[in-house]
Amino acid sequence: MKKPTVIIGKKQIIMTCLTLMLAVAVYINYSTAPSADKKRSTVSTVSEESAENYGDTEFVNAEVEPAANDYFAQARLDRMNSRDEAVQTLQTIIGGGDVTEDEMVTDALNAVEVSKLIESEGTIESLIKAQGYEDCVVYLDGESAKVVVKTQGLDKGQAAAIKQVILDESEVSAENIRIFEVK
């Protein structure tokens, strides 16, 4: 009597591991999101004049209607929803049988990249909060970084410190980093 053979290839193991890594990253991102309080906010944009000097910044103020904490809660929720959609799409692709080996490898590499971005966002947010900021949200897309920081005032030295955290933890160039301030 023959024993039934189970065929589990390297591709299936790799795709399962990547899916689990992505799911864990989304969960960690969701679990580290703080609760929301209500306050009026003002947004300031910090942009750089030179990529060589991290401290050269220019402030532009604009009024924002929603409360600062509501903004951070909504931003995290929106980011989490978009990541969940990416996980569902990946699971659909893996579950579909019409995928060639090249497409599966490409999808696996994309999943790894998304997982790294999620992990980097969480790390950068933690490091910025460790500098004494009440809250922040980081958006990475591989080529650029956008940081929204809750603070009562951001000077050039603080902006330079935030940029240095991003440069240390990601592969984004200095000229592609934008810092927004929410009061």
- The vertex-114 CA angle with 113 and 116, nearest 5°, equals 65
Chain segment 134-182, per-residue pLDDT in tens: 888 999 888 899 999 988 888 889 999 999 999 998 888 989 999 998 8
Give the pLDDT of residue 16: 84
Average pLDDT for the chain: 75
Most confident by average pLDDT, 68-72, 100-104, 119-123? 119-123
pTM of the model: 0.56
Give the pLDDT of residue 164: 93
Chain segment 14-49, per-residue pLDDT in tens: 888 888 888 888 777 777 766 444 333 444 444 444
Give the pLDDT of residue 145: 92
